[in-house]
Structures are given as C-alpha cells and as structure tokens.
C-alpha cells in the first residue's frame, strides 16, 4: 500500500467492495506516466471499471485518463460531473455550483472580518448523479431505467 494514499476513503471503499463481493484493485498514480501502466494492469487483471478518486493531481490529467479508459473500453466513475461531461460513464458527488457559492460566502465573511476558526464546518447538502448516455452506448452498457430515473443530469 502506498503510504501517501489517504487511508480513510480507501478503507471505506475496501469495506463496500467486500460487502458487494467485489475486488478492489488500487493503482496509485503520482505522475502522468503512471497512468498507462495503471490502465495496462487494470486491463490485465480484467477490471470491469475504474473509479477515479478525487485529487487535483488526477484532475490535471483527466483528459489522459478518459482517453486511456476509452481505448481499454472501461467505464470510468468519478466524484464530479465535469468528468462525466468529458466522457466518464457516471459521477456521483457534491454539487460543484453549490460548493462554489458556499466558498464565495466564506471568503466574503473572512474579508469582512470573520475569523476562519469561528466559521462552522459545512458539509454538502446536494449531491448529483450524472450519467453520460453517449459513453454508455459506446461501451455497450444498458443503464437500468431505475438509475436513469434517479439521475440529476443525463448527457446525450
């Protein structure tokens, strides 16, 4: 295990995968060059999908991640909708627009004299499920109608 990897989300994923009878394969990526070998290993191990953990480092190379996934015929799952808009199969996570508004409100309060340590910690209130129908079609995946009905955004 990579010591630089934050264990709390990984531990939660390992538990969830075990509950569902799935095997979790970790592929830490430190540099863009690591992506190719990560996808090669995932393909060799017959991974059925790739989940991209949230990281500014990975966000910076998401075009390459999506290209490699497309070449390998692997669906990508991510946290934020911008991945799905660019070709991931689906994303489920906090609404970025809501988070941006909250950030602006915090900046306003701090610039008007509030101490950051006095401001309450807030958690997201709205989560979005975004599905990319083009990607599903390209991968030959029929998304269940129950999932389609729950989606906040369908990309056609």
Q: Which residues pair with 153 in a beta bridge?
A: 130
Tokens matching residue 120: 């309450």
Q: Would the pLDDT of 3 be above 80?
A: no
Percent of residues, the chain, with pLDDT higher than 70: 96
pLDDT in tens, 89-146: 999 999 999 999 999 999 999 999 999 999 999 999 999 999 999 999 999 999 999 9
* 94 φ, ψ (degrees, to nearest 5): -60, 145
Q: What is the pLDDT of residue 6?
A: 56
Q: Would the pLDDT of 1 be above 50?
A: no
Measured between alpha carbons, how far is 90 from 81 in angstroms, rounded to an integer? 8
Region 61-78: what's the mean pLDDT?
A: 95
| Alpha helices by DSSP H, 21-61 | 33-44, 56-59
Region 7-18: what's the mean pLDDT?
A: 87
List, in order of start, the domains of the chain with CATH numbers: 7-94+127-155 (3.40.50.2300)
Q: What is the pLDDT of residue 8?
A: 80
Whether the Cβ atoms of residue 130 and residue 91 lie closer than 8 Å to each other: yes
Beta strands 127-132 and 90-94, pairing class: antiparallel
Q: Which residues pair with 132 in a beta bridge?
A: 155
pLDDT in tens, 25-62: 999 888 888 999 999 999 999 999 999 998 898 999 99
Sheet of 90-94, strand order: 50-51, 76-78, 90-94, 127-132, 153-155
Q: Which residue has the tokens 């915090």?
A: 106
Region 64-76: what's the mean pLDDT?
A: 95
- Closest-CA residue to 82 (of 69, 72, 71, 95): 95
Whether the Cβ atoms of residue 26 and residue 5 lie closer than 8 Å to each other: yes
pTM of the model: 0.86
């Amino acid at each position: 295990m990579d010591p630089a990897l934050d264990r709390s989300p990984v531990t939660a994923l390992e538990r969830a995968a075990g509950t569902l009878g799935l095997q979790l394969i970790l592929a830490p990526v430190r540099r863009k060059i690591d992506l190719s070998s990560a996808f090669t290993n995932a393909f060799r191990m017959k991974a059925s999908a790739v989940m991209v953990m949230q990281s500014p480092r990975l966000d910076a190379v998401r075009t390459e991640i999506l290209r490699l996934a497309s070449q390998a015929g692997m669906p990508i799952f991510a946290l934020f909708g911008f991945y799905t808009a660019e070709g991931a199969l689906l994303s489920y996570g906090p609404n970025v627009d809501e988070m941006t508004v909250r950030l602006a409100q915090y900046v306003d309060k701090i610039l008007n004299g509030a101490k950051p340590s006095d401001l309450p910690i807030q958690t997201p209130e709205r989560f979005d499920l975004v599905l990319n129908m083009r990607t599903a079609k390209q991968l030959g995946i029929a998304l269940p109608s129950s999932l389609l009905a729950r989606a906040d955004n369908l990309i056609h």
